[in-house]
């Protein structure tokens, strides 16, 4: 079967993707501050939801530990959201 459309030419950023084999995750070079903070905020929101879900399934000291983690996540999210608002204010 013949391919109808040709492959696009390689972009200059494709050359920068050569990472050492032991690197599992990396941040895309040139990622904007807004994109980084926005993604961090969304991940912290997801972590909060997961931690609250865990807290519903444990009792006593374990529940208090999970709720303490929730509080730390929420504080981190407040810091990230404040930095995002200062870096990229909404009109």
Residues 20-39: what's their mean pLDDT? 90
pLDDT at 45 (0 to 100): 96
Task: State the average pLDDT over residues 61-88.
Answer: 96
3-state secondary structure of 65: helix
| Closest by Cα among 27, 39, 38 to 85 | 38
- CA–CA separation, 7 vs 38, rounded Å? 32
Residue 52, pLDDT score = 96
pLDDT value of residue 88: 87
Q: Would you say how long the chain is, in residues? A: 91
- pLDDT higher than threshold 60 for residue 65: yes
Q: Return the closest-CA partner of residue 52 out of 69, 76, 75.
A: 69
The pLDDT of residue 13 is above 90: no
């Amino acid at each position: 079967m013949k391919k109808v459309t040709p492959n696009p030419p390689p972009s200059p950023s494709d050359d920068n993707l050569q990472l050492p084999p032991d690197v599992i995750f990396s941040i895309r070079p040139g990622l904007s501050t807004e994109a980084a903070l926005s993604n961090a905020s969304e991940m912290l929101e997801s972590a909060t939801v997961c931690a609250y879900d865990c807290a519903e399934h444990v009792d006593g000291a374990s529940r208090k530990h999970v709720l303490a983690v929730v509080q730390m996540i929420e504080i981190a999210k407040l810091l990230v959201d404040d930095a995002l608002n200062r870096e990229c204010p909404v009109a």
